[in-house]
Structure formats: C-alpha cells, structure tokens
Structure 1
Amino acid sequence: MPGRSALFGWLIGWWLLSSAGLAAPTPKSYQASSPDKTTRIEVTIDDHKALVYRVWFADEPVLTWSALGVELNSVAVGPNTVVKKQRVMKHTESFAWRLGENDVIHNNYTELTLDCLSGSVTYQLVARVFNGSVAFRYVLPKQAGTDFGKVRQELTTFVLPDAHTIYQYNEETVFTPTALADLQKTCDFPATLTNGRLFLSIGEADNTSYTKAVLSKGAPPNTLAVSFRKNSVLTKETFQTPWRTVSVATSAIGLHAFSDLPLRLCPPSSQPIPDWVKPGKLIRSSLTTQGGLNCIDFAATHNFQYILFDAGWYGAEFRTTSDPTQVIPAIDLPTVIQYGKAKNIGVILYVNRVALRARLDELLPLYKQWGVAGLKFGFVDGLTQEGISWLVPAIKKVYDHGFILDIHDNYKPTGLSRTYPNLLTQEGVRGNENNPDAFHNTMLPFTRFLAGAADYTFCYPNTNRYFTDNLYKSKLQVSKGQQLALSVVYFSPLQAIFWYGNPTDYNDEGEIEFFKRVPTVWNESHYLAGEPGTFISVARRQGTTWYVGSAAGLMDWSGTLPLSFLAPGKRYQATSYEDDGTGGIQKRVAEVGPGDTLPISLKAKGGQALILDQKQ
C-alpha cells in the first residue's frame, strides 16, 4: 500500500524533527527597548549555560554577545544560570537640576529585571534602556547560608562587532588613541571608542562602596573586559555593583547627550537642593591675611563667589603633626572670613586626606563655627574599595553640616552629586596646572567630561608673572583665547580661575572681563561641532544670554557655526573675545540672529569666546 507507506514516512520525519527540537530548544531571549525604540538590550543563556547580552542601536549590533556576571570567592555567578522570572517596567520622569548643563533632566527608560539562579546563588540582573544608552548592574540579595565573601573579579565584557579605536587614559594622564588589537594598558571609565561610523562611551554610575574598575583588553578579538584597578571587593549580606553603561551616537558631539546619565542612574537627594548650595567661581589666595583680603576684593569686583586657602594653611599637609584646627600665624582667618561675609564672598578650606581620615568628625562642626563656606578634599583614595567606602559617607557628613565640596586628585564622579548636591565638582582630570596641550584639551569634552563636572583649575596668565617667569612661560601650550573658550566648554559648577595668579597682577580688565561674566551653571547647552582631539565648539545659555566657546587642537580649524539655537525672532549683540596674534585678546562686536551662521577661523592651539546678548 504505497499511500500508507508514504504517510508512515512522513510521520517518521515529523517525529525526528520534533525530537531534535525538544533536545535543543532555542534559548529564550529577554529584551527591553528604549522609549524611542532605537536602542535595545537582549539577554539570553548561551550554549555554555552562561548569561550573555548584546546591544542594538538603529537595528545595528553595537555589542555582540558579551559575558555577564561576577566571581565570588571561588563561585562564579553568571555561568550555569537559570532565569526564574522577568519583569519589565517603564519609567518616565523629568526633574529640575539647577546645578547642571541643562535646568531640566529627562530620565525616561525601560527597565528589565531578571531574577536568576546561578548554582546555589540567587541574583538579579537589572538593565535600563534609555534613548541611546544601556545600563546594567548585578544585585545580590541576602540569602540564607550564603557568605558571598569577596568579588574577586567581574566577568562583564563588551564585545564589539568590528575593529575600534579607544582613547586610552588613566586618571590624570594624557590620551592615546589606540586600536583595540594593540591595547596593552588599561583604560579608565568613561572610555570613548569609535569605528569611524559610530561613537561609544562605556561608563560607570553610582559607585558608593565598590572598588575602582577599569577596562582591559579581553581574550576574544575586539573585546574589552572589566578589571579591578587594585583589589577585590568585600561584600555585605546584600550588595549591588555600580552600573555599567554603554552609550552610542552617530557623531562625537552626540555623546554629550549622555553626560548626565550618571546623575539619572543615582538616587535623588532626600530633600530639595538647599539654598546654601551655591555654584560659582573661585580664586586661590596666597597664604597670608592680606592675600585673602585682596582675593576677596578681586572676587567681589569680578563676580566671583569664593576664595580658597589651599594646601599649607594649617602646615605641611602630609604631616600628622600638622593641626587642621590651627591656622598658621601668617593668616588671620577670622578676619578674612568676616571680610568675605561682608562682601558675600565665601571662604573654602583645603584639607588633606591625612587630616580628613583622622579628624573629620571634629573638623566639620569647628569649621561651621568659624563660618567656612566649603571644603576641598585633597589626595583622597579613589582607587580602592576602602577609599571609596570612606569617601561617600564623608561626602554625606559634609552635606549634613552645610558645606559645598570639591574633591581633588584621582577621584572621578559617578553621579553622586544627585544624591549629595553639595558635591559641586571634582578633579580626576589632567588639569591646567599641568598645562596640557591643545590635543588633550580638545579630547576632554568627548571623554572625561562625559562622567560629569571636572575642576580644571584654569591658570590664565598675567603680565606681571606668567610672561616674566620662564618656569610658567615654558609650560604654556595654548593661547589665552583658548583658555577663555574652555571656561564655557568645560562644565563645573565650581570653577577655579587664575590658579597661579595674584589678583593684584591682573591689570588688563579688557582681557579678563569674559571671566567676570561667564556663569558656571546653565539653563541649556548644545555641542555645536567637534571631533576628538581636533576641535570643539559649545553653546550654553543662562537666562536670555548665550555663551559660545570654541577651541582648536594642534591644527588650524575653519568652519561655520549655525546659530539656530538662538530664540526665534530675536536679535543678539555678539561680543567676541579672540586671540590677536601677538599673545593678547582682541574684542569685536557684531549683530546676529537665529537664521545666521557664524564663520570661525582659529589658529592651532587657539580659541574664541563669545557672549550673545539678546537685544530688547
């Protein structure tokens, strides 16, 4: 019966195909997409039973299948994972932020939470997908009979689909563009990469008690892996890692949209930003009473808000015998503080780590009694879990006592200013006191400043010292116009200006009047044009006035800037401060409107600063 034989053969074939499908089912994919649907994370269990992820942008893979997990003592969490449950939720939020680059921050994302079991360990992978960004972290809840011990390493990797260049740097070093295949050193977060078509930033947020992590070259080609800078991480009964973030843009300037991502990933403060948290500009004083008084007079007449007594005001900063409750005889601090209050100028005091670690709880109420406005922490340890775990509660103590704060040296931000808004700025950057070159200056907007504010400590020259002292003159690698411009390009709610300057040495008001007007926080910001290490132009608004800073790298830059960001139907007086070709600044005035384009022509290492005042 040929008909029955054919039917029997078909049934046998169907059974074999079905059996093969049951033996090797397609792994389930867990996904979440951004509100605008352009960005997507996909998580699954791979053939080795390990949890892996990939990231898509505009239907193009930005990361291919990459590892997830952590190694706890001798137990790896991530391999041998079973996903027990998934939850997807949408979050829509906008919050006012008067200490930033824009006065409103939009925090919209889709969150994917996977409840997982890896061996005997229960954990969660939490991922948030924003327009253009993905963030994820590991959460290990308390569980009976389990001592997590240490996180010996993270298993997180970032596998790129093709060859990329990374702008390698560490802490306060220079940037070195390096092919991933040739990468020998580690690279700090945030790390910027490009394949020539897309630009990526791999970052970190909400690090409150972890160690400093870095990126190193992974084993497969085109792979970066998370490594620890110094040591493993001691865990608590319940703990979570910092967020790992991946942001992508079709242009280098497009990455600026994610400079507030660390803030969005940190919890808000328990109260509105207090009135005493005041942004502003500062000038550093010499360590004398008269120096402090002169700086206060200068600050009052030049629209500065603070002066700083830096290292040495209580003696040699690294000696345990130096007493931060006692002021050196050369400074009558009560007189300076009272004089400052009479002119609405605050006094900030530097305190080194040696004194901070030993006596912070004693110093804070004392400095409050003295009438100090803020503190600058020096030489903190931002490289280890122990250092970071000490630092974050210290930030809270400073906040609770009503001081603004600036943290210097190797610490970089991870968004904690949203939780503790008194933390106005931090260093973690190769600043102007090292006089970096124009390549470095035009790299920073695309790299370090994607993590948050940085205290660049501007060293604007003056006629009485900078150009007569060969020590300083030999180090100056960029023009005066570039330094003016960078005060707009670089964001910091607390901005140190004239770092090496004595206020009585600045006798050319026409040159420095731009510093008198430029704010440190903004209602609106736009990156207009730029390429890493080549050039940068940034426009920022406070009130109805716009400020534009443009800087060239090591080569001349000519182009045009659209002024479409100006208010429709309004005309503006544009005052330009630019290099005059002889080492000085020249000022020009023109009238412009939103339909105009602004021609720009900068010599290598030069810059231009603009003020656009709306006409009535």
Structure 2
Amino acid sequence: MKHIKQYLSSLAVVFLAGLMLFTESMPQAYAEAQSEDDEIFTLESPSSKIVTQLYLEDGIPTYSVAMDQQTVILPSQLGIKIEDNQVDQANNEELAQSIKLVETSDHEENYTIRGNRSETHSQYRKYLYEIDYETQTIGLEINLWDDGMAFRYIFNNGGILSIDEELSTFSFPNGTEVWYQMDNQAMQSLYEHKLIEDFSGREIITASSTFELPEGQAYVNLSEAELKDFAGIAYKSVGDNSVKAHYWSSINGFETTADYSPWRLAIITDNLNDLVNNTLALDVSQEPSEALLDADWIESGKAVWFEGYDNQGNIIEDQARASLEASTQLGIKYHVIGNNWRKWGETIEEALVMVKPMVELAAEYEIGIFIGHDVPNLDLYPDGNLFDKQARQNFLRQAKDAGVAGIKFGHIESETLESVNIYRTLLEEVADLELLAIFHNSNKPTGLSRTYPNLLTQEGVRGMQYNLDALNNTILPFTRFVAGGADYTPINFTDNLRLGDGTWPQMLANAVIFESSLLTFIESPVVLASNQAADFISLLPATWDESIVLDQSKIGDMAVYARRTGEDWVIAVQNAPAEVKELEIPLDFLSVDQTYSSLEYHDDLDNKMGYQIQENNYTSKDVLTITVNQGGGFVAYLKN
C-alpha cells in the first residue's frame, strides 16, 4: 500500500465509491444547537453537564469539550485520511467547506451488565453531521453523556477503503497529569505518570490512559469501543499538550470495507467514582443476540489452576481430589489447565483424551474446566494456528466434545485488522458451542463483553505473575480497569516473591478491587483453604451488584472501595508504598436501621505476611477507623 505523507493541518477524506446521504432533517427541539452564522455548533449532554463545540478552524474540523463550564479538552482536530490511487492526489489537500447538522436525538436504555454492578442506565444525546468537501462528504456521529463523549466517522462507501492515518486528537491544559503505560502488545508494563507538557513527542501510550486535570478538577480516560474491521489505536504524543489516535500495529495503513470507524471514547468525570462506574464502551457496543442475553450456561465465578497430574497428563487422584474438595469449600467454580495439555498427545484429539478424565473428575464437584490454547501457532504444532478456520473449528469442536467449560485463548498481541477480528470470530464460534472464553496476552477491552457475555475476562494487565507492585495497584483501578475487568490473578501465600512490596491484606483487597468475572487466584486451593483468610475468600463473589469508589481514593496513592453483593457489603483498601495511613471511613452507604456483622483483615504492621483479624458490628451511623501499612491493605466483609 502506498503511504501518503501527512499534509500540515489538512484533512483528506477520499471515498472509493458511494456517498453517505443523510435525509432526516434537524429536529426543531434542537435548532438552538446551531449558531447563527452556521459555523459553530454547541452540543450538550442530557443535563448539559458536558458541552462540546464543533466548528471549522481554517478548513479543519475542530472541537473542544467543557464540563460544568470548565474547559476539559482544548480545541482539537478531527479527521481521517483515506488513500485512493485512482484519484488525483491534489484532492487530498482540500479543506472542509462546511459542517451541517443532520440529526439530533435522545437515547435512553436500561440493561444488565456484569462486573462493577449488575445493571446500568444509559442516557445520551446523539448528533449526526455531514462534513462537506469539494469532492466528497464524510459523516461524523457524536454522542454525549453526562460522563463523557464518543465520536466516530461514517463512510458507507460500499467498497474497499485504504486507511492511511487518523487525525483524531485530544489536547489538554498545562498541568494535566497523565497516567499511562506503553506496552500496546499485552498491556503489561508498569504505569507511569508525568505532566502532559513534559511529553517528548515519542510516547505511544495505550488507549486506556487517564488524564488528571490540575487540582483534580476533571478526569479524562481515553479508549475505544466497537472495534471491528478496523485496526486498533493507541495514542501518540504529538506536542502542544496533545495526543493523536495512532494505528500502532498498522503504521503503514490498512484496507477495510467498514462503514464506520470504531468509537473514540473520552470518559469525562469530576470524581473517581463516576470514572470507575462509567459504561460508555458498553453503551455503544452491539447488544448480545437473544440466545446469549439470558443464556443459563454463562456463569461468572472464582477459579484456580487445576492440580494433580503428571507430565504426561495422568491424574494423580489423591492430589486432584484434595484440590477439588478445597475448591468446593471456597466456592470456586472453575479450574484452569494451561497450554501444557497440548503436549499430552501428537494431535489435538490425542491430547484431549487425557483432558477428558480431568473434566469428568471436576464435574463430580460441579466444577468446570478451562483449557488454554494460543491463537497464533506459537507452539509450532501443525494444527495449532487458530487464525486458520479449519484448524480453529476442529479444535473447538473437539474441546466441546471433551466437555470443557471454556477456552483460555492466548497471545494475540496485535491490533491489526486481522487480529482485531479474530477476537469476534473466536467469541462467536465458542458461543455457538456454548463455551466460555477468556483472553490472555491480549489487548485492551473494547466493549466486547456486552456483545458476547460468554467472554468472562481478559488479561491486558500487569498482574501477580510479575509480582505485586503496590504503587501500580493504586493506579490500575483508575486506568486499565476503567475499560473493563482484567485477569490480574491475585492472592498467593506460598511464594514470597509474588508479594512484592505489598502485604497479605493488600492481596485480599486486590481480589475485591480488581474486578474479573473469572476471578482466578494464583494459588493452590488447598493452601487458600488452610489460610486464615479462607472464610473471606469463600464469601467473595466474582461480580458485584453495586460499587462505590470512596472519597479517600487518589490515583497513585490509595484505592478505597465499597462493593455490594446482595444485601452484604465488602470494603477494600489498597495503599501505595510511600507511607502508613490512618483512615476514617463513614459507613453511610449501609442500609439505614440495619446492623451488620463484620469480618475484618487489617495489616499487621510488624509482619507483612500476616493479619490482624477482627469482628465487629456496624450501622450506617458508624465510622470505620483503620491503619494501613506502607504497600498495605484492608478488607472487611459486612454481612447484613
């Protein structure tokens, strides 16, 4: 593909075929959204908390965003470059001539979700525009919620587009602190932070980064959603306090038949609770099919690694049964077998012969089995490349016949168009077989868990396989986890290196704060059941009915959560390693006139591999007072 150089301050949109025609007129109710000179448009969220202005600046579509009359995103460019060798290249330098508002409409819906809470209410205002050039027109759709915005480009060309570059930019005020990491392949780097004005112009940060404006006046998390038939983006620093959408794994461009670009999301809030509880990525994602909406075979749950077999895959029955019995005591629903099962036979069929007895043994305890399989052919088996349709469907059918509950897919580590689409292909095909799925060494979440609720979790996080990092753990809830759950694999009591600079109570808090619908512990269930925290672990759910980020929380300093499951509440605290902290937590989120009994795990200030365990009674009028160690934590299960 021929690469077209970037023209300074130009927006080039060339269609191979067709023209998107909008026929609906602007509703009278929103006529005031258009300025008198027809050059500046003011867009408002349902309660006018978020206000966007859209206009042409020297022929370039430009926008800015304010929250509560305070500018959050400074004037920034919009646009996308599309290559067409059949068109005179001079046309690529043309500037936009006008922006026309075509449609404005309000949207509202309630739907069930899984993770931070069990249901959500979505309410947003949709604006649809035409951007006219001398020879072509592009559609621009902008949605505004009271907690953010999303926009996408509309092509509807009916042919093949060669996408060269995207100009979507986000510009921020001086003093904005950026919390980011740059491992776009697997998202497993430690998060860093610095001021936006200190960016060098070389950073390529993941589309799961959070921008904290001066004095905490706003938080902006940038991501994308409904990613399909398109390369995925990161954000590249480009100077002038700006980051721009960047096709990090398709830097020479790509071809697509898509009618739309993915959504570019800017979650915008004035507090961390709203940031964490946003559902913008889910709101703009396709609804699940009717067959998946209430499928009784899709169940969240806690998980551990399957134990009790030798190198050839033969079951060591006493060890396996002890593990399964301990899992039952702890309420663990799934066991995971890694990719090593594939070594138990020359072919997939032969290897699965060894897996099937494990599935049958686990079924005696009502526990399901996940098996791992890399998507690219990393293990060099001739039948192992799941990008190949025949190899993929052969494996999935045989895995289903072996009775497994789900597949742990690994190592996609790319966001080319082909890699982006394999996520959906795999999820559709396992759904047809009523199989669950998780992804490891994966990219960022993009709302797929709404379309495919059989996707329980995906990694894309620096978890305990790298050992606990207490500072990073106080950043993750407000960056990576804003996009969706992640398989952090918390809690390990036997390997002291895993604990890093944390404490045992922080590990328990990780299991509460780091949401995952397949909550997998990186520890033997026998060890978990023998630990003093066994009672807490047995009570812990994998998903929540309600979540509150409490006011003591601060990015890079402390995460303080209250989560509800049924009538019970769980409080969790993660502290950075800088200093010991004294906290007072008002319990006014508890039900009025109810008394709760608590099971509490406090830091032992003299022993990071221990607890101070307490039991108390509380009402909504009480204040919980705790001391949290450096890199420490706290959890309490409050039972009604």
* Fold conserved between structures, TM > 0.5: yes
Once the two structures are superposed, what CA deviation does each residue of 1:219-267 show, in whole Å capped at 9, x if it has no partner? 4x21111112121553444421111111222234442132x22111101
Question: Quick one: distance in 1 between partners of 2:135 and 2:256?
Answer: 17
1:533-612 alignment runs, 5 A limit: 533-554=556-577, 555-580=579-604, 581-582=606-607, 583-612=609-638
Q: Which amino acid aligns with 2:518?
A: L
Quote the offset at 1:283 in angstroms.
0.6
Cα contact 1:483–1:607 (8 A) shared by 2: yes
C-alpha displacement of 1:427: 0.5
1:303 aligned residue? 331
Query: What amino acid does structure 1 have at the position aligned with 2:524?
Result: N
**C-alpha displacement of 1:453:** 0.6
2:261 match: 241
Aligned residue among 420, 425, 440 for 2:457: 425
In the alignment, the residues of structure 2 paired with residue 493 and residue 448 of structure 1 have an alpha-carbon distance, to the nearest angstrom, of 15
Q: Deviations over 1:185-224 (max 9, x none)?
A: 21111211123232221221111232221111224x2111
Check if 1:35 corresponds to 2:46: yes
Q: Note closer, same or farther for the CA distance 1:63–1:342 as it changes in structure 2 (3 Å cut).
A: same
CA contact (8 A) 2:209 2:222 kept: yes
**Please, which runs of 5 or more residues in structure 2 have no aligned partner?**
1-35, 84-88, 378-383
Residue identity in the other structure for 1:357: F
CA contact (8 A) 1:205 1:262 kept: yes
How far has the Cα of 1:82 moved from its partner? 2.8
Q: Distance in 1 between matches of 2:615 and 2:94?
A: 62
Partner of 1:9: none
The farther-off stretch of 71-80 and 163-172 is 71-80
What does residue 276 of structure 1 align with?
297
Within a 5 Å distance, the mapping from 1:463-482 to structure 2 comes to: 466-467=495-496, 472=497, 476-482=500-506
Does 1:162 pair with 2:162?
A: no
Aligned-pair distance for 1:85?
4.2
Q: Whole-Å Cα distance in 2 between the matches of residues 507 and 447 of structure 1?
A: 32
Letter paired with 1:401: L
Contact 2:177–2:194 (Cα < 8 Å) also in 1:
yes
Change in 2 beyond 3 A, CA 1:194/1:322: farther
Residue 64 (1) aligns with residue 74 (2): yes
1:579-613 CA deviation, whole Å, 9 max, x = no partner?
Answer: 32322123201111112121121011111111000
SS in 2 for 1:107: strand
Match in the other structure for 1:363: 395
* 1:208 aligned residue: 228
Task: Give the letter for the 1:502 counterpart.
Answer: S
Any idea what SS the aligned residue of 1:439 has? helix
Aligned length: 567
SS at structure 2 position matched to 1:100: coil
1:378-435: CA deviations, max 9, x gaps? 1113332221122211111111211111101132211111100001100000011101
Q: Which residue of 2 aligns with 1:496?
A: 520
Counterpart secondary structure, 2:404: coil
Please identify, of 87-96 and 384-393, the stretch whose mean Cα deviation from structure 2 is larger: 384-393
* Larger deviation, residues 390-399 vs 291-300: 291-300
Distance 1:233 1:400, change over 3 A: farther
Q: CA deviation at 1:513?
A: 2.3
**Structure 1 residue aligned with 2:306:** 285
Mapping for residues 502-521 of structure 1, pairs under 5 Å: 502-506=524-528, 508-521=530-543
Over aligned residues, Cα RMSD in angstroms? 2.2
What TM-score do the two structures reach when normalised by structure 2?
A: 0.84
Q: CA deviation at 1:163?
A: 3.2
Quote how far apart the aligned CAs of 1:303 are: 0.4
8 Å Cα contact 1:69-1:76 kept in structure 2:
no
Mapped pair 1:327 → 2:337: no
CA 249–394 in structure 1, closer or farther in 2 if over 3 Å, else same: same
Secondary structure in 1 matching 2:387: helix
Match of 1:5 in 2: none
Give 3-state SS (helix, strand or coil) of 1:306's partner: strand
Which residue pairs with 2:12 in the alignment?
none
Give yes or no for contact 1:253–1:446 (8 Å, CA) kept in 2.
no
| Conserved? CA contact 1:576–1:587, under 8 Å | yes
Partner of 1:10: none
Q: 1:130 aligned to 121, 145, 152, which one?
A: 145
Structure-to-structure mapping, 1:46-125, within 5 angstroms: 46=57, 48-73=58-83, 79-97=95-113, 99-125=114-140
Deviates more, 1:384-393 or 1:567-576: 384-393
Match of 1:102, SS state, is: coil
Among 222, 225, 228, the alignment partner of 2:244 is 225
In the alignment, what sits opposite 2:439?
Answer: 407
1:173 corresponding residue in structure 2: 189
Asked if 1:193 is matched to 2:217, the reply is no
Contact kept? 1:77, 1:121, Cα under 8 Å: no
Amino acid at match of 2:539: R
Equivalences for residues 383-398 of structure 1 within 5 A: 383-398=415-430
Per-residue CA deviations over 1:262-317 (Å, capped at 9, x if unaligned) read: 1111011121231111000111124542354443222212100000101211129x
Could you tell me how far apart the structure 2 residues matched to 1:136 and 1:486 are?
A: 33
TM-score (norm 1): 0.88
Counting aligned pairs with the same residue, the percent is 23
Counterpart-to-counterpart distance in 1, 2:490 and 2:553: 22
CA distance in 1, matches of 2:447, 2:241: 28
Structure-1 residue corresponding to 2:3:
none
Q: Residue by residue, what CA displacement relative to the aligned partner does 1:452-494 show, whole Å, maximum 9, x if unpaired?
A: 01000124113xxx25xxxx36x63211110001111111111
Aligned to 1:17: none
Report if aligned partners of 2:179, 2:193 keep a CA contact under 8 Å in 1: yes
- C-alpha separation in 2, matches of 1:105 and 1:76: 43
Q: In the alignment, what sits opposite 2:165?
A: 153
Q: Secondary structure at the match of 1:80?
A: coil
Paired AA for residue 545 in structure 1:
D
Q: In the alignment, which residue of structure 2 is the partner of 1:349?
A: 371
**Judging changes above 3 Å, is the alpha-carbon distance between structure 1 residues 505 and 490 closer, same or farther for their aligned structure 2 residues?**
closer
1:436-459 CA distance string (max 9 Å, x none): 410001110010000101000124
